[in-house]
């Protein structure tokens, strides 16, 4: 957000990064912006903390130079607002201050700022501190990405590409951390009918292909917010948050129908008719372990009822 009457700074698509300069002094903004632009950065400006927050929410700059003493919303208040917003908390901040006392700087660093600059500062010092802060942020992002990739790998079933039991454990742990114990949940347990016969007659490689194709059909029948995992062997488990009794039963039926609606093309000259049995239940998060036992019993009841059917609901 630019102050009224001030021209926008140049922003090249090939800029090294976008820097937001937040200072109530137009002169300071101009000096800092010129130095950054000359070094190849794109620059946006704001005249107070509130304007700075608005720019961050709209543009997500790569780094913020934030003055401490400003009207409307000072630097420390702005920093607290940034840290309280999950979408903005990762933006690195360098404080700007003309004060000789270190108390405000210390408080800002305690709030999460990366560094600080005393005004006025040499262009070389400004650019060096900006470069270090951006490099540190880039390293953090790369580390977080690698950690996420490793976590995804450890929670993914390598055959079907669905989640595995660990992913379900993580999902349940996150729900317990974020929600009340009375959070409504629904479970559906799905088992491929007569899968041992498929393995014995077709071989394990074709059996694996059946597992992959069934997993794809089950995935197509559930929502993006649902957690569908390979529970083990030929069993799958669906976790849904805030379902109605009808919702989980209807989805269970959709999953059953999606599998048996058409034969599976296992190979060029090989198709096979496959069905699944499903047990489902609804309850609350606090009873998750008990619900697992219930849904397993209902799956067994579906098998006893002749397979290729759904048992359960509420």
Grouping H, G, I as helix, E, B as strand and the rest as coil, residue 234 is coil
d(CA 142, CA 154): 18
Between CA 174 and CA 179, with CA 176 as vertex, the angle to 5 degrees is: 100
Residue in 125, 182, 234, 297 annotated catalytic: 234
Whether the Cβ atoms of residue 272 and residue 263 lie closer than 8 Å to each other: yes
For residue 311, give the nearest of 102, 107, 301 by alpha carbon: 301
The 10 Å CB-count burial string (b at 16+, else e) for 179-190 is eeeebbbbbbbb
313: phi then psi, degrees, rounded to nearest 5: 165, -100
Q: Strands 93-97, 276-284: parallel, antiparallel or unpaired by DSSP?
A: unpaired
Write the CA distances from 269 to 147, 192, 272, 308, integer angstroms.
42, 22, 10, 25
94: phi then psi, degrees, rounded to nearest 5: -115, 125
**Rg for the chain (alpha carbons), in Å?**
28
d(CA 34, CA 295): 66
Note if 234 is an active site residue. yes
Whether the Cβ atoms of residue 96 and residue 115 lie closer than 8 Å to each other: no
Residues involved in catalysis: 234
């Amino acid at each position: 957000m630019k102050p009224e009457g001030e021209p926008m700074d140049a922003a090249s698509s090939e800029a090294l990064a976008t820097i937001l300069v937040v200072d109530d002094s137009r002169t300071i903004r101009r000096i800092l912006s010129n130095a950054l632009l000359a070094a190849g950065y794109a620059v946006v400006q704001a005249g107070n903390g509130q304007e700075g927050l608005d720019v961050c929410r709209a543009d997500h700059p790569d780094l913020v130079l934030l003055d401490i003493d400003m009207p409307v919303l000072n630097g420390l208040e702005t920093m607290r607002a940034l840290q309280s917003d999950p979408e903005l908390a990762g933006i690195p901040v360098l404080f700007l201050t003309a004060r000789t006392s270190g108390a405000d700087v210390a408080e800002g660093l305690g709030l999460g700022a990366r560094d600080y600059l005393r005004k006025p500062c040499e262009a070389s010092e400004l650019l060096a501190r900006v470069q270090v802060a951006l490099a540190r942020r880039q390293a953090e992002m790369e580390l977080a990405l690698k950690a996420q990739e490793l976590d995804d790998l450890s929670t993914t079933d390598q055959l079907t590409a669905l989640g595995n039991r660990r992913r379900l454990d993580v999902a349940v742990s996150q729900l317990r951390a974020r929600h009340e114990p009375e959070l409504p949940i629904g479970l559906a347990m799905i088992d491929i009918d007569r899968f041992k016969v498929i393995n014995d007659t077709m071989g394990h490689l074709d059996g694996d292909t059946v597992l992959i194709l069934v997993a794809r059909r089950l995935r197509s029948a559930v929502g993006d917010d649902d957690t569908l995992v390979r529970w083990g062997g030929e069993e799958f488990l669906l976790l849904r948050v805030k379902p109605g009794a009808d919702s989980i039963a209807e989805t269970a039926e959709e999953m059953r129908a999606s599998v048996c609606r058409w034969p599976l093309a296992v190979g060029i000259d090989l198709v096979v008719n496959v069905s699944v049995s499903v047990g489902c239940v609804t309850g609350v998060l606090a009873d998750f372990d008990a619900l697992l036992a219930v849904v397993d019993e209902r799956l067994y009841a579906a098998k006893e009822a002749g397979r290729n059917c759904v048992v359960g609901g509420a």
